[in-house]
Structure 1
């Protein structure tokens, strides 16, 4: 725009110089404006992409968390417990493992999900966009509602485990009492059998009378102990009715003792 002779003079052409400077200024001012506008557009697009990414993350996390919650509820509602004291103690240990190890990270994840949802809404509001609406079933209130069901299922399972554990403890104690009494009854039967086998019926009237009195004494003792054998049968029935895990062995032992007693 400027020729050398226009400015290489004692009095340069001021109009030409002003025109050049003006055009120079407008040219670079336009470039700056365009660059600023491009940066603003890039910034907005970047925020939109970030927002969309956060929304995708929210939906994936919410979906996975809800899946875990409902699968866990199904497991917690299962009442097919082991039929033994040892098995129930293991079941209680597994339940405590769930409460102290498995569940806490999921609770933390739920809190982080809630914070992410709040951040998404805040960013949308700052950009003048409408509130974010997740797909049906993935709202935070859906997650909170599912978590409340999880807490109830957990509490119900704890009650059920404790009740079954106490039942198994009671059955184990009853089984121990049964075996203790069964040992006494068997010992008594062996002693009676030994006495009968060694008994001499005698050859004289006095010896026969003595033998008869001894037999009568044994018979009276047998009748006197009838309630004790009935108690053994009652304990066996209780254990079998309550599905004690060794009820078959209990029943077999009780039958053997009673058959020996009545014979």
Structure 2
């Protein structure tokens, strides 16, 4: 900036020197052509300074924007690791059909499954945070958006897979519960029939003894 002021001052000094020498030699004063007067130079200098100031502001704003995007990317990566870990663990959990072998065990398994469903349902907001961060970075033209979108799509794919596994597991669990209830009714029926046979035999014995 100081050098520029010196250049501007030098121009004014040179013009003054030329005019002084011309007057000293009784010559016609030098008149700068249009666009080259001191006033024109001053205006051009102002435009230059304004353009440089605007560029400096734009660069500073872009730097701030890029720093914000880097922070968003770091936040996205941190949360993505946690989401992927949670999704993998729950996919393994719902892939296991450890329902038990009697009605009380299957009923307990159903209650546990319903608790898992509630937990998964409440996790929707955390998945949405990942999607929102990715959208924000894409809107801001983040330079590494392909990697961000690839990770986002992978998490979304795993999320949908978990919901499908959960739904399929509920179907199998409900079928197992229905079968256990049928088995329970059959056991009750067999017990009732055995009790009736004993009762009939006892009645027959009493009748014959008379």
2: CA distance, partners of 1:215 / 1:163 = 51
Partner of 1:129, secondary structure, is coil
Provide structure 1 residue ranges, at least 5 long, that are not aligned to the other structure: 1-102
Q: CA deviation at 1:149?
A: 0.7
Distance in 1 (alpha carbons) for counterparts of 2:91 and 2:130: 20
The residue aligned with 1:191 is 89
1:153 aligns with 2:33: no
1:141: which partner in 2?
39
Candidates 111, 116, 119, aligned match of 2:9: 111
Equivalence for 1:242 = 140
Match of 2:74 among 152, 169, 176: 176
The separation in 1 between residues aligned to 2:151 and 2:38, in whole angstroms, is: 61
In the alignment, what sits opposite 1:255?
A: 153
2:105 pairs with 201, 204, 207, which one? Answer: 207
Per-residue CA deviation, residues 199-235 of structure 1 (Å, 9 max, x unaligned), is 5122222332232222222111000111111122111
Q: Distance in 2 between matches of 1:246 and 1:218?
A: 35
8 Å contact kept, 1:199–1:211: no
**In the TM superposition, what is the alpha-carbon distance from 1:121 to its structure 2 partner?**
0.4
Count of equivalent residues: 161
How far did 1:104 drift? 4.5
- In structure 2, distance between residues paired with 1:119 and 1:259: 78
What TM-score comes out, normalization by structure 1 length? Answer: 0.57
- Cα distance in 2 for partners of 1:104, 1:161 equals 22
Matched, 1:162 2:60: yes
Separation of aligned partners in 1, 2:156 and 2:107: 30
| C-alpha separation in 2, matches of 1:119 and 1:199 | 99
Shift in Å at residue 141 of structure 1? 2.2
Q: Which stretch shifts more, 144-153 or 208-217? A: 208-217
**How far has the Cα of 1:152 moved from its partner?**
0.7
Query: Which residue matches 2:27?
Result: 129
User: CA offset at residue 106 of structure 1?
Assistant: 4.2
Q: Which has the higher contact order (CA 8 A, sep 6+)?
A: 2
Following the alignment from structure 1 to structure 2, what is the Cα–Cα distance between the partners of residues 258 and 206?
36
> How much does 1:250 deviate?
1.2
Q: Corresponding residue for 1:50? A: none
Distance 1:192 1:250 in 2: 23
Work out the CA distance in 2 between the residues paired with 1:106 and 1:152.
14
Provide the aligned C-alpha RMSD in A. Answer: 1.8
2:113 paired with 1:229:
no
